Amino acid sequence: MPTTTNTSKTSPKPPRRRAGPSPVRYDFVLVMIVATLIGLGLVMIFSASYVQANNLYGKSAFYFLRQLQWLVVSVIGMIVAALIDFRILKRLALILMALTVLMLVAVLLFGDKNLGSRRHLFGTSVQPSEVAKLTIIIYIAYWLSSKGNRLREVSVGLVPFSVLLSLVALLIVLQPDFDTTALIVMTALIMFFIAGADLKQLGIAGVVAAITFVVVVTQINYASVRINEFIDFLKDPGTGSYQLTASLQALANGGVLGAGLGDGTTTIPLAFTDSIFAVIGEELGLVGALGVVALFMAFAYRGLRIALRSNDSFGLILGCGITGWIALQAFVNIAVNTATLPFSGLTLPFVSYGGSSLVACMAGVGVLLSISRYSNQTAASPARAAVQPTNGATYATLGLGWRNWRARLPGAGRARRATASRRTTQQSGRGYSSGGSSYSVKASSAPRTAALSRRVTRTKRTLARRTGTSRKPAKSSSSSGTYRVPRRR
């Protein structure tokens, strides 16, 4: 029989993509925000320190060059942290915590005393308390994520968490460094809330922290002096803290557009470290000050966005902890310079002069970039996004909706609702447990898979109905061995 040939031209098929790892996707918006803050910081450090540097060292760019050296080290640290999978930090969390405790103890024993406190180690400018901010956040994120659904139990969640936090806080407050201690405690409480802690437990922890704060303030001399100076300043700005008075005077002199770089006239103590925001307000005006606030708000948004897109609870808690730490420190520094809070020794992240602070903050940014990178890789691969092992621990379902962004675990009076919720969650394909190992299923992949399966089933049925067969189309009578698909009616 004569064979029929198909003479129609067919378009060339596009090359098939090879299966492999998805392209690397970092959050470059976050990188640009941090780069802008660092660039602004370098300019303001030189503008605020060139007179003092010239008088002390004979080099007007002394502090600027020192900060530039630390910037090189911090950029290397950020790149290394971004290239490493953040989940490796789970295995290193205990080691990092042990090294942190050893460094804090070494500061108490061998640290150099400066301005009434021991914060530097072995005559260097390295402050272990700055590095401890990041390492403690890593360990707390690992510890909270490992508890899973049992975090609401008092003996498993609140009591060990309070003991751990008290030990670290005690080592730092003995230096004494009350400001860093308060910052770490606030960040840890935020992480405790994000991990799904019971609100009653969180309230108890807050009350205990407030009582401890009052006791510490009354016992530590410099802390009580700062509180009293702030109260006196609120009563009469002329008799209060000179630091707060000078900061407000600088902000007032700046006006809307500022006096210009290097043209500030107000003498501010620690101008290029703790009070650099006041210098920005004087030389760049209200526009420059609001620009800095906007940059830190954008940083907080991008950091929380990265954390909420993480594929496991460790990445979520870790990302929120790092973002909360840097954002809290920034806004506390801004509040101090605007006389909203008593004076503190916290620097403005990425902007103020200080090597240890810059290295720690940049390493934290590197961890955020690692979370964004590996979360994007997993989300881009349906096979890996479908089922992800969680090392045998059952984690709470962490939805990304605005009403269900935190882990919700059953309380004493919500047993029936929790049981129904678990059944609904299992039926919707969000999570299941098999063979003693728990898996977390990405919520967005299950509906897509179900929709694709229904579409394939409908196509098969339509094709079978048109060809009159139940499984495959009828074979053509030609010798070409091809299938004949009838035209649509």
Q: Tens digit of pLDDT for each residue in 345-399? A: 889 999 999 888 999 999 999 999 999 988 766 554 444 444 344 443 333 334 3
Rounded average pLDDT over 19-46: 83
Instruction: Say what the pTM is.
Output: 0.73
Rounded average pLDDT over 468-488: 50
405 contacts: CB under 8 Å, gap ≥ 6: 308, 398, 399
Distance CA 421, CA 404 (A): 13
Phi, psi (5° rounding) for residue 79?
-65, -45
What pLDDT does residue 141 have? 95
Residue 207 has pLDDT above 90, yes or no: no
Average pLDDT in the chain: 78
> Is residue 270 packed enough to be buried (19+ CB in 10 Å), middle (13-18) or exposed (0-12)?
middle
Sheet with 388-389, edge to edge strand ranges? 388-389, 437-440, 431-434
Share of the chain above pLDDT 70, in %: 73
- Structure token pair of residue 104: 């804090």
- SS3 state at 483: strand
For residue 87, is it left (φ>0), alpha (ψ between -120 and 50) or beta? Answer: alpha
Share of the chain above pLDDT 90, in %: 34
For 95-115, how does the pLDDT look when each residue is reduced to its tens digit (9 = 90+)? 999 999 999 898 888 877 766
Q: Which sequence spans correspond to the domains of the chain?
A: 28-378, 410-470
pLDDT category of residue 484 using cuts at 50, 70 and 90: low
- Structure token pair of residue 368: 């955020």
DSSP-derived letter for residue 475 is: B
User: Where would I find the H helices in 84-127?
Assistant: 89-110
Distance CA 284, CA 265 (A): 13
Number of Cβ within a 10 Å radius of residue 219? 11
Q: How many CA atoms lie within 13 A of 382 on its CB side?
A: 8
- Structure token pair of residue 483: 């299938």
For 392-410, how does the pLDDT look when each residue is reduced to its tens digit (9 = 90+)? 333 333 433 333 445 443 3
- Opening angle at CA 81, ends 77 and 85, nearest 5: 165
Nearest one of 300, 329, 355 to 38, comparing CA atoms: 355
Residue 336 has pLDDT above 50, yes or no: yes
Sign of the C-alpha dihedral computed for residues 304, 444, 28 and 381 taken in this order: positive
Residue with the bigger pLDDT between 416 and 88: it is: 88
What pLDDT does residue 123 have? 63
Among 26-40, 170-184, 222-236, 386-400, the minimum mean pLDDT is found in 386-400
Phi, psi (5° rounding) for residue 328?
-60, -45
